[in-house]
Structure 1
Amino acid sequence: MYSPILSIVCVFQNPSYPKIANSHAESYLRFSKDKFSHRKKQRKDAKICDESTNFAVVFPIHVISRKMYKDKNLTGHLCMFAACAAWGLMSPLGKDAMAHGISGLALVSFRAVGAALCFWLTSLLGRHKEDVAPRDLLMFFFAGMLAIVFNQCCFTIGLSLTSPVNASIVTTTLPIVTMILAALFLKEPVTNKKVLGIFCGAIGALLLILGNGHAAQKGNGNLTGDLLCLTAQCSFAVYLTIFKKLIQKYTVVTCMKWMFTYATIVILPFTYKDLAILPWAEIPATTWFETAFVVFVATYLAYIMMMTGQKLLRPTIVSMYNYVQPIVACIVSVATGLGVFGWSQGAAVLLVFGGVWLVTQSKSRADLKTEHPSHTDPES
């Protein structure tokens, strides 16, 4: 017996999940006319779903929006927003955890090991096993180095050396670096809309960062720390640009389990001392809860969302969502009474989302080839 509240299976690691979810929606619409036909269709869809997935997150909702499942861009944007929102929440929670007994390198170890275990458990519980070519296993190693090891370690160490304001300002370079790399390696056009969108987003993010008067009092900048934070942004930009085809070839869980496995193998030899001297018994329960949030929500779930967005969106658009993190941090500070929401914050939010919209509306290389088969004009 079916209730109006349906369980929609969103298969994040399979590019064909909108088709599967939409098939379930169509079956439900036919249910009132022909129960037998619906049950037969349901069994067929269940078989397809079992054969093509090994990870699913079930969301009960009241109304099915078929357009949402058909529009892959909308799904990609929602996934990227959710991932960056989780990373934005991770910043205050992670800092509080590091202030109460968890060192920065220990937190990096927890993220790598915890996420690797979660992804392997998800893979083992799934019914579909995916084989990975030996050459691609090597590629996953380099992808893990860029997206996880260099990105997390360089940023964590850099943040410990420089001020939070400097580190936040350096993070605004990610879309710029990604746009340049996408133009060099993927031959993506550097359009006027794309440049204007990145500029608007950067101005909005800087308004939020520099508008936080308390942050400027936390310490002075450090050139080494700033360079490490910049290295973290560059490594992630290279990952977004170079490994897009590899990511599209395999499911999300397959990609993530190998990338985090390699990252764990590389990270642990450098961080095990921090884990050994950790005062486990003296760390309060609240700090462990914050650490669990960083590992499960801001790493495991956030990387699933990020990888799904990377499959569906262009690298420059994915990198633009980096500007969402200061917005989330601002909202958290206002909600906890540590900050106020004024006109400058409102203008910054509009600039960030306006910038994302402009980059989204800019024409890709494929769009220009479709419109002008013999000529591609990047001025659009």
Structure 2
Amino acid sequence: MTGHILILTANILFGISVPVFKHLLNTGMPPEAIAFLRAAVTCALFWLLSLFLPRQRVTHRDLGLLAVCGICGVGINQLLFVVGLKMTSPVDGSIIASSTPIFALLLAAVILREPVTKRKVLGVMLGVCGGLLLVFGTAHATSGGSSLPGDAMIAVNYIVYSLYLVLSRSLAQRYSAETIMKWMFLVATVALFPFSAGELENVAVFHAAAFPPMQLYGLLYITVGSTFIAFLLVTCSLKSLRPTTVSMYNYVQPMVACAIAIAIGQDVFSILKLGSLLLVFTGVYLVTTSRRRHEPVIIKS
């Protein structure tokens, strides 16, 4: 039960962050700078936290896996998400996020050899149809800020994030969440620096005498709330839940993000987006509730 509460809380934090990201982008903050600051500040917080906790020794083999997880789960993931969100709408981004369980299922089947049933295949097909309806149906839209390249970047972002969920499951069984996070974010910070070094001077908080207070509050939320705390909760939940179960909770994100974005006037919710959302949710339900008859029910996940 604890794992479910942790991952639910994490996805609520993620959902709130979508309109916050959009606000920062609307104030002129470069997406590359946002991605780097998110990783760098969180990296510093995790290394600071590690000073007060028992030190764990990480094997050279696991350091390599941590580096891959850092690139996939933080570096590529965060950069593509923010750049994509700059070109598309919060609703589109949050709806695509709910496809993560489908991506996670496919990767888990290939990497972890999890069984694939007809019910799961049907769910995948429905989810893909929902994503395609959203992406291609909004390619020529003029309202809501929809964009084909932006939607595509966010879709790739969640595929990479799903790979991170699958690969990090074994690490979560051997190391504490703090140990995993400090190494992952260190790798991501180093990897993101070349892409963002030239953009940091365009962040008003660093050089303007009268910078927008909301910009600072937004940065604090996405670094501390939706990254430091949320990623810590995700990693803790992986100790007791399967990657596909963890990814299932992504459906919370579009509900939270859509409600906030529409309430503050950042986006509009069309019939097309509603249809996409229903298809994706149906697909998610099928792939996360399906199991073979001979598979035992695992109560904890």
For the criterion TM > 0.5, the same-fold answer is: yes
Query: How far off its partner does 1:361 sit?
Result: 4.0
The residue aligned with 2:171 is 246
The residue aligned with 1:330 is 258
* Matching of residues 189-204 of structure 1 within 5 Å: 189-195=115-121
Counterpart-to-counterpart distance in 1, 2:25 and 2:246: 28
Structure 1 residue matching 2:115: 3-state secondary structure = coil
Query: How far off its partner does 1:228 sit?
Result: 2.8
Q: Which amino acid in 2 is paired with 1:306?
A: V
* Matching of residues 225-244 of structure 1 within 5 Å: 225-244=150-169
Q: Which moved more, 1:186-195 or 1:134-143?
A: 186-195
| Per-residue CA distance 1:160-183 (angstroms, 9 max, x = gap) | 345556545544442222211111
Counterpart-to-counterpart distance in 2, 1:149 and 1:277: 21
Query: How far off its partner does 1:242 sit?
Result: 2.6
| Per-residue CA distance 1:179-224 (angstroms, 9 max, x = gap) | 11111121111235545666777899999999x9xx961445244x
Identity of aligned residues (%): 36
| Structure 1 contact 172–202 (Cα < 8 Å) conserved | no
The residue aligned with 1:69 is none
Q: Which runs of 5+ in 2 are unaligned?
A: none
The residue aligned with 1:64 is none
The residue aligned with 1:116 is 43
Distance 1:208 1:310, change over 3 A: farther
| Structure 2 contact 87–145 (Cα < 8 Å) conserved | no
Q: Are 1:80 and 2:7 an aligned pair?
A: yes
1:91 to 8, 18, 24: 18
| Structure 1 contact 116–257 (Cα < 8 Å) conserved | yes
Distance 1:121 1:151, change over 3 A: same
The residue aligned with 1:130 is 56
Question: What is the RMSD computed on CA atoms of the aligned residues?
Answer: 3.7
Distance 1:369 1:352, change over 3 A: closer
Query: How far off its partner does 1:94 sit?
Result: 1.5
Aligned length: 291
* Matching of residues 37-52 of structure 1 within 5 Å: none
Q: Which amino acid in 2 is paired with 1:98?
A: L
1:267 to 158, 171, 192: 192
Q: Are 1:105 and 2:1 an aligned pair?
A: no
TM-score by length of 2: 0.80
Q: Which runs of 5+ in 1 are unaligned?
A: 1-73, 372-380
Counterpart-to-counterpart distance in 1, 2:279 and 2:88: 27
Return the structure number with greater relative CO, CA threshold 8 A, min gap 6: 2
Query: How far off its partner does 1:116 sit?
Result: 0.4
Query: How far off its partner does 1:152 sit?
Result: 1.0
Structure 2 residue matching 1:125: 3-state secondary structure = coil
Counterpart-to-counterpart distance in 2, 1:201 and 1:77: 23
Q: Which amino acid in 1 is paired with 2:159?
A: C
* Matching of residues 358-377 of structure 1 within 5 Å: 359-363=287-291, 368=294
Query: How far off its partner does 1:229 sit?
Result: 2.6
Q: Which amino acid in 2 is paired with 1:304?
A: L
Counterpart-to-counterpart distance in 2, 1:151 and 1:341: 25
Query: How far off its partner does 1:268 sit?
Result: 1.2
Query: How far off its partner does 1:333 sit?
Result: 4.3
| Structure 2 contact 95–254 (Cα < 8 Å) conserved | no
Distance 1:308 1:356, change over 3 A: farther
Counterpart-to-counterpart distance in 2, 1:164 and 1:321: 18
